[in-house]
Chains A and B, each alone.
Chain A
């Protein structure tokens, strides 16, 4: 499985998905999570190179909905902080 897990040095210019503002858009770059979870996330649309936009959070701010490929997936902050994206301005 291709997980594109790189070391810290390669994260220049990347942001954790959890740190993106609501309604902003990023392009998935790497997923620093165990293979099992990373695989499930990719099946759901968090594929390197695909864009993801930040949706609403539950009352209290966590978990939050993310839009990928036309579907909406809710993730906790602990998960979305391990998905690294390149900020983008348009879908």
Chain B
């Protein structure tokens, strides 16, 4: 072992122009995405879990008095021997083999300074690429606090490349990064590197580099051990988990209420104000009854969705998710999957689209497809408006499990469990038939617990709020307008027809025979058709239909629903939404990730069939 690997032949040649495209790379959980956020300000998911950055993201870093530098945030890698799809992406980008992305002309290598003995082994393959590289030892504040130290100058001299201690979460030490981005740093000086495929040799090399730089290991993180003592406790762990889940559900219902009432009031007030400005006529009908009732009915649910994302963000950023995966591993093994599948499934509670992309960390192809197929059963945030509306309309609020946990929260929790159950049964069926394979090993790094930063959680909430409002402003707005038109023709004596007589009503009544056994009438039918685009569209659609009938606002919507749904039909509708595949974005991402229409077609047919049969049975049982 021990061969001489150099970079390019010229060392230390200054690059006055500075790099244009810089790649950020490092082992999972070293804080790459946090650094990327800090430099670009661009919204980007950060989770305290190895391998969450499944797609490379590009952003622009603004450096004062200099042209913008493009940054690409790569998935975390342990080595340059790609074993998972994530690692392949990083590998391909750095070698200039990624389609649609030029080869980066400089590298920011981010390592966890509290774990240098291991993380430094990635420096060998990265330095051998011969690109200008700045090595960042992240979490310097943590290293200091736990009594560790390292001599940066010595390390830089040994590695032949500049080294800086930073804290990306606190924004400390980033001047060195900005200097690097403005140029003036040459390619690494050739040094003696180990044989890159020889893992033990690379590790020994890393240890030697660390100890020669007077690296002192920090003390083990006290808080991580204390928290694990609680969260992994045979009794305390499950108890804490249950309490957290109950708290989340109750706060989604009760905690979001004041804000939702506020938005509801605003929507109603602006609607009637607009109405009085516009005066009688078709324009007022379009804007107030069509758009305002439709879009407004959905926007009201923004606080609930943000609250849900807030909890998911805390769970991910704090490092609890990796423990949850570990606890879930045995259960997952029972259906033929492993703990790693649990993480995409948990994030599918927010949205199935990023969850399906996050399955790229699963090495086994069959496990990955099984996880993709069951992910849309997890209750995503788009179902929340539908669930909340129906539950609030049909289930009276009363204390259920002590005063802190009411019957409505219990009903909501029940629906979440229903989705979970469907996912598990489906996984079991898939893994014992078409996707049968040997149980894949479970190897997962447990990151230390970290306090989620305000910036990271805030950026994600902002991102989700914008995405939600954008959908309200595009898909739901579009559907509301089309629906208004369909509900306004054919004109009778120059006036809009009664909604049953309109084109929308005719279409709804045409499908009524199919959905009647489920307890749904033609109005719900119109909602089911529009919700094929996205689940929450049904709320906007019902808002528009009732708006045109003269009922508006969500309280009015709840009352109006009583004339169209029996209790059995309402529960059947909830069951239908729990199972049905009503999301174009999910189908599109499944097609992309599985490379064809086969799996999305199977998924759509299976989920819709299951939804229909179960809604039918529910309605028959309860009527």
Determine if A47 and B200 form an interchain contact, defined as CB atoms under 8 angstroms apart: yes
B473 within 8 A of A: no
B residues near A70, Cβ cutoff 8 Å: 114-115, 117-118, 217-218, 220
| CB of A72 within 8 Å of the partner chain | yes
When chains A and B are docked, how far (Å) is the Cα of A75 from the Cα of B441?
8
B329 at the interface (CB under 8 A from A): yes
Evaluate contact between A39 and B81: CB separation under 8 angstroms: yes
Which one of B121, B326, B333 lies within 8 Å of A74 (CB-CB)? B326
Size bracket, chain B contacts: 35 or more
Contacts of B232 in A (CB 8 A): 56-59, 65
A49–B329 Cα distance when bound, in Å, is 29
Q: Is the CB of B200 within 8 A of A60?
A: no
Asked if A73 and B233 sit within 8 Å, CB to CB, the answer is no
Q: Does A42 contact B199, Cβ atoms closer than 8 Å? A: yes
Are the CB atoms of A43 and B78 closer together than 8 Å? yes
Chain A contacts for B460, CB-based, 8 A: none
The reply to whether B442 and A2 contact each other, CB–CB distance below 8 Å, is no
Are B330's CB and A43's CB within 8 A?
Answer: no
Chain A residue nearest in CB terms to B228 = A56
The 3 closest A-B pairs by CB, nearest first: A72-B446, A42-B199, A43-B78
- Chain A residues, CB < 8 A from B79: 43
Cβ proximity bits A38-81 to B, threshold 8 Å, 1 near / 0 not: 01111111011110000111111011010101111111101100
Q: Interface of chain A, helix or strand or loop or mixed?
A: mixed
11 examples of A-B residue contacts, CB within 8 angstroms: A39-B83, A40-B443, A44-B78, A47-B199, A48-B200, A65-B446, A69-B118, A70-B118, A71-B445, A72-B446, A79-B443
B376 at the interface (CB under 8 A from A): no
With A71-B445, A73-B445, A76-B329 as contacts: A60 and B118 at CB distance below 8 Å:
no
Contacting residue for A63 out of B121, B238, B339, CB 8 A: B339
A88 on the interface (CB 8 Å rule)? no
User: Closest chain A residue to B322 by CB distance?
Assistant: A74
Give A16 to B81 CA distance when docked, in angstroms: 27
Q: Does B197 contact A (CB under 8 A)?
A: yes
0 or 1 for each of B182-204: is its CB under 8 Å from A? (1 = yes): 00000000000000011110011
Q: Is A10 an interface residue when CB atoms closer than 8 A count as contact?
A: no
> Do A36 and B200 form a contact, CB below 8 Å, given A69-B117, A71-B115, A74-B442?
no
User: Does the CB pair A59–B199 fall under 8 Å?
Assistant: no
In the assembled complex, the CB of B115 is this many whole angstroms from the nearest CB of chain A, namely 5
A73 pairs with B444, CB closer than 8 A: yes
A65 to B234, Cβ gap below 8 A?
A: no
The reply on B229 being an interface residue by CB < 8 A is yes
* A1 contacts the other chain (CB 8 A): yes
A39/B329 in contact, CB under 8 A: no
A59-B238, A76-B329 given; A39·B445 CB < 8 A: no
Residue B237 at the chain A interface, CB threshold 8 Å? yes
In angstroms, Cα B443 to Cα A40, docked, is 9
| A37 close to chain B: CB less than 8 A | yes
Taking A69-B117, A70-B115, A76-B329 as contacts, is the C-beta distance between A56 and B442 under 8 angstroms? no
In the bound assembly, the distance between CA atoms of A55 and B235 in angstroms comes to: 17
Q: Which residues of B lie under 8 Å from residue A47 when comparing CB positions?
A: 199-200, 203-204
Per the CB 8 Å criterion, the residue count for chain A at the interface is 36
A72/B445 in contact, CB under 8 A: yes
Please measure, in the bound complex, the distance between the C-alpha atom of A41 and the C-alpha atom of B224, giving whole angstroms: 22
The answer for the CA separation of A48 and B445 in the assembled complex, in Å, is 19
Whether A42 lies near B326 (C-beta < 8 A) is: no
What A residues does B121 contact at CB under 8 A?
A: 43
Q: Which residues of A contact B224 (CB under 8 A)?
A: 72
B22 to chain A, nearest CB (A): 25
Determine whether the beta carbon of A58 is less than 8 Å from that of B443.
no
Do the beta carbons of B326 and A73 come within 8 Å of each other?
A: no
Q: CB within 8 A of B83: which of A36, A45, A76?
A: A36
User: Which residue from A39, A45, A49, A56 sits with its C-beta under 8 Å from B118?
Assistant: A45
User: Roughly how many angstroms separate A39 CA and B441 CA in the complex, as a whole number?
Assistant: 13
- Identify 5 new A-B residue pairs, CB closer than 8 A, beyond the known A2-B200, A59-B235, A65-B232: A1-B199, A42-B203, A43-B203, A71-B118, A73-B443
Q: Which residue of B lies closest to A75 (CB)?
A: B443
User: B166 CB to closest chain A CB, in angstroms?
Assistant: 19
Chain A residue, CB-CB nearest to B234: A59
Q: Shortest beta-carbon distance, A83 to chain B, in Å?
A: 11
Contact call B200/A58, Cβ cutoff below 8 A: no
**Closest residue on chain A to residue B329 by CB atoms:** A63
Given A63-B326, A71-B115, A71-B118; A44-B443 close (CB under 8 Å):
yes
In the complex, which residues of chain A have a beta carbon less than 8 angstroms from the beta carbon of B83?
36, 39-40
Q: How far is it, in angstroms, between the C-alpha of A63 and the C-alpha of B332 when the chains are bound? A: 12
Instruction: Provide the residues of chain B in CB contact with A67, threshold 8 Å.
Output: 220
A39 touches B442 (CB 8 A): no
Closest to B118 in A: A69
Which of chain A's residues has its CB closest to B238's CB?
A: A59
* A74→B198 contact, CB < 8 A: no
Interface positions of B from 234 to 290, Cβ below 8 Å from A: 234-235, 237-238
| Residue B498 CB within 8 A of the other chain | no
